[in-house]
């Protein structure tokens, strides 16, 4: 009988794109991959319910928690309620899994240390390289992200002190994010010369809404994942999602073959980081992209 693997995702089903296909195709044979427990950005209700269903009703052998730390915490909490052996969890794209308490020695969680929010300061520097005259940058944040205050503090500490950062929160802490909240946030966007869309699964899940609102402001913006740029955003810098999901599939296969998270090498670290630039978007913004960036970027 095929082993069952669950796939828990914090965002919307249609935002997964090729990464889910990449993960599915990289799994070894003889596995039944259950339909994803997509939470549609409802971190407080749908996400814990989906995790509980996959763990305690579907009885999956391994649970993959995709879409950042919110999925990983939901999976951890669901398995913590188990009275017997705890279901192994493989998470993806989690900032500081050790410091956050997700990964502990002899625990049942392992996965990908995503290098997500850690790269936000580097994204600011790329904006400055693109347009050295920039002095004010808006920072789009999700107040529902775990440790959003820590994300903001790290960004402030790592920024060039000549930059003034203006935080812009989308929605209200404790309520699911919506496209209307994205629109409202941009209507209240202060006067800034550029925008950093911080690393967060909600923004990735709502890429078309974010990209559309940025375009209407006619300011340069940088994102975490290349998918934003492929869909019309200006520039992105971050680890390769294809690499991360392939690594997650490898972890799942090893666990199903008999390895246990406590005995596995700790935490996969991404090795491939992508700088991607959309020249059509740059042209629409009347931006001349410096050759120093073009030499390092994948241009689309």
From CA 156, how far away is CA 134, in angstroms rounded? Answer: 16
If asked whether residues 98 and 194 sit together in one domain, one would say: no
Mean pLDDT of the chain: 90
Half-sphere exposure of 233 (CA within 13 A, CB side): 28
Higher pLDDT, 254 or 16: 254
If asked whether residues 149 and 198 sit together in one domain, one would say: yes
Do residues 233 and 150 touch, judged by C-beta distance below 8 A? no
Joined together, the tokens standing for residue 121 give 């300061």
Higher pLDDT, 217 or 157: 217
Residue 266 has pLDDT above 80, yes or no: no
| pLDDT at residue 197 in the model | 96
Q: Which residues pair with 7 in a beta bridge?
A: 64
If asked whether residues 142 and 282 sit together in one domain, one would say: yes
**282-300 pLDDT, tens per residue?**
999 999 999 999 999 999 9
| pLDDT at residue 91 in the model | 94
As a residue count, the chain comes to 300
Give the Å distances, CA to CA, from 20 to 2, 25, 33, 51, 252.
19, 9, 11, 18, 14
If asked whether residues 59 and 195 sit together in one domain, one would say: no
Q: Which residues pair with 263 in a beta bridge?
A: none
Please give the average per-residue pLDDT across 34-44, as a whole number.
Answer: 83
If asked whether residues 186 and 54 sit together in one domain, one would say: no
Total of domains in the chain: 2
**Residue of 80, 60, 63 whose CA lies nearest to 252:** 63
What's the angle, vertex CA 212, arms to CA 211 and CA 215, rounded to 5?
Answer: 85
Q: What is the longest distance spanned by two Cα atoms in the chain?
A: 62
If asked whether residues 31 and 106 sit together in one domain, one would say: yes
If asked whether residues 79 and 140 sit together in one domain, one would say: no
Cα torsion 150, 155, 157, 162: sign: negative
If asked whether residues 247 and 201 sit together in one domain, one would say: no
Neighbours of 178 (CB within 10 A): 17
First to last CA, the chain: 45
**81-128 pLDDT, tens per residue?**
999 999 999 999 888 888 888 888 789 999 988 778 888 899 999 999
Please give the average per-residue pLDDT across 19-34, as a whole number.
Answer: 89
* Local structure of residue 89 (DSSP, 8 states): E
If asked whether residues 197 and 86 sit together in one domain, one would say: no
Do residues 221 and 235 touch, judged by C-beta distance below 8 A? yes
| pLDDT at residue 1 in the model | 66
Joined together, the tokens standing for residue 27 give 């799994």
If asked whether residues 194 and 57 sit together in one domain, one would say: no
Burial of residue 85, with CB atoms counted within 10 A of its CB: 0-12 exposed, 13-18 middle, 19 or more buried: exposed
| pLDDT at residue 208 in the model | 94
If asked whether residues 82 and 228 sit together in one domain, one would say: no
If asked whether residues 106 and 186 sit together in one domain, one would say: no
Please give the average per-residue pLDDT across 205-232, as a whole number.
Answer: 95
**Pairing between β-strand 273-277 and β-strand 235-239 as defined by DSSP bridges:** antiparallel
pTM score > 0.75 for this model? Answer: yes
Whichever domain contains 48, its CATH number is 3.40.50.2300
Do residues 116 and 145 touch, judged by C-beta distance below 8 A? no
Instruction: List CB contacts of 241: < 8 A, sequence separation 6 or more.
Output: 19, 22, 93, 225, 226, 227
Joined together, the tokens standing for residue 195 give 């925008």
Residue span of the structural domain in which 284 resides:
117-238+274-299
Residue 36 has pLDDT above 90, yes or no: no
| pLDDT at residue 160 in the model | 82
């Amino acid at each position: 009988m095929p082993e069952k693997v669950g796939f828990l995702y914090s965002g919307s089903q249609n935002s997964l794109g090729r990464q889910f296909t990449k993960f599915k195709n990289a799994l070894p044979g003889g596995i039944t991959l259950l339909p994803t427990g997509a939470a549609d950005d409802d971190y407080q209700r749908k996400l814990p319910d989906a995790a509980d269903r996959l763990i305690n009703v579907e009885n999956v052998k391994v649970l993959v928690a995709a879409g950042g730390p919110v999925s990983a915490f939901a999976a951890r909490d669901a398995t913590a309620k188990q009275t017997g052996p705890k279901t192994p969890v493989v998470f993806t794209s989690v900032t500081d899994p050790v410091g956050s308490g997700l990964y502990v020695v002899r625990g049942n969680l392992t996965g990908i240390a995503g290098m997500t929010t850690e790269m936000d300061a580097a994204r600011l520097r790329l904006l400055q390289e693109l347009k050295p005259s920039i002095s004010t940058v808006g920072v789009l944040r999700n107040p529902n992200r775990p440790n959003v205050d820590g994300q903001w503090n790290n960004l402030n500490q790592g920024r060039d002190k000549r930059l003034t950062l203006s935080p812009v929160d989308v929605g209200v802490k404790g309520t699911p994010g919506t496209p209307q909240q994205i629109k409202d946030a941009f209507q209240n966007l202060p006067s800034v010369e550029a925008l950093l869309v911080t690393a967060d699964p909600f923004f990735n899940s709502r890429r078309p809404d974010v990209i559309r609102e940025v375009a209407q402001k006619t300011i340069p913006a940088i994102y975490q994942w290349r998918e934003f740029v492929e869909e019309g955003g200006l520039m992105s810098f971050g680890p390769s999602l294809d690499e991360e999901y392939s690594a997650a599939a490898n972890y799942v296969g090893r666990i199903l073959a008999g390895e246990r998270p406590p005995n596995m090498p700790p935490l996969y670290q991404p090795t491939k980081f992508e700088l991607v630039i959309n020249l059509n978007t740059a042209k629409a913004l009347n931006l001349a992209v410096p050759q120093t960036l073009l030499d390092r970027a994948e241009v689309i």
